[in-house]
Amino acid sequence: MHRICIVEDEQSLRDMIGLNLELEGYRVQAFSDGQTAQKLFEQTFHFDLIILDVMLPHVSGFDLCRTIRQHSHVPVLFLSAKGTTADRIAGLKLGANDYLVKPFDLEELLLKVQILLNGSVQQDQLDTLQINNKTVNFSTFEVRDAQNNILHTFTKREVQLLELFHEKEGKVVSRQEILDRLWGAEQIPTARTIDNYILAFRKLFEPDPKNPQHFHSIRGVGYKFTRE
């Protein structure tokens, strides 16, 4: 399920967009001001698309886009009452992927969202992950060997953890980041839970699980995934 973030200070518009995206099957998180969104974007976040109003109190949509681009290539769609060419160019120069001028047609918004999500290279790459001739499918949760036999079927959380590792390949992922991503505000699991996931990954993907080449433990910090 694609996750979409909306930052829009006009409540009626925010609600209308959010509701319609949810009806389309997207998971939506909405913010009414730039400051709250900025705080989130400065930390880790996991959206597949971000819709930004340009004129926001305190922190503008352009400022938010700058912050996002420091961390992520996630598709950004601007909404703005300003329809001049100069404004559109300013937005696109900041790394936004598309621009919609208010008042816009709902159909057009939904279409742009669909195109940005499905046309995104990043998203295509995230659909499967290959480790040692084994392929993980993030939609079906299945792991298949080179002959396409199903070796294993993961749980949703195991797949979420693999997706996180895939996104952060080569970088250390902290335990806190894993907890935020997999459990959010839900009940925190025991310390062993994440370790057990890692052990399961090693058993499945590592030629020698005792000397891991892919799923590394970084003592006191978290984990690191590498494919080579």
Residues that bind Ca ion (CB under 5 A): 9, 53, 55
Q: How far is the CB of 11 from Ca ion (least distance, A)?
A: 11
Q: How far is the CB of 61 from Ca ion (least distance, A)?
A: 8
* Residue number, 88 or 224, with CB nearest to Ca ion: 88
* Residue number, 8 or 48, with CB nearest to Ca ion: 8
Closest-approach residue to Ca ion (CB) = 55
Q: How far is the CB of 160 from Ca ion (least distance, A)?
A: 33
* Residue number, 11 or 133, with CB nearest to Ca ion: 11
Q: For strand 215-218 and strand 222-225, is the pairing parallel, antiparallel, or unpaired?
A: antiparallel
- Round to the nearest angstrom and report the end-to-end CA distance of the chain: 29
SS3 134: strand
C-alpha distances out from residue 65 to 47, 97, 103, 119, 166, Å: 14, 10, 21, 20, 24
* Residue number, 55 or 199, with CB nearest to Ca ion: 55
Largest Cα–Cα distance in the chain? Answer: 60
Q: How far is the CB of 87 from Ca ion (least distance, A)?
A: 13
CB 182 within 8 A of CB 165: no
* Residue number, 44 or 60, with CB nearest to Ca ion: 60
Structure tokens at 176: 């806190």
Nearest alpha carbon to residue 80 among 8, 180, 173, 178 = 8
Q: How far is the CB of 10 from Ca ion (least distance, A)?
A: 6
Distance separating alpha carbons of residues 78 and 41, to the nearest angstrom? 16
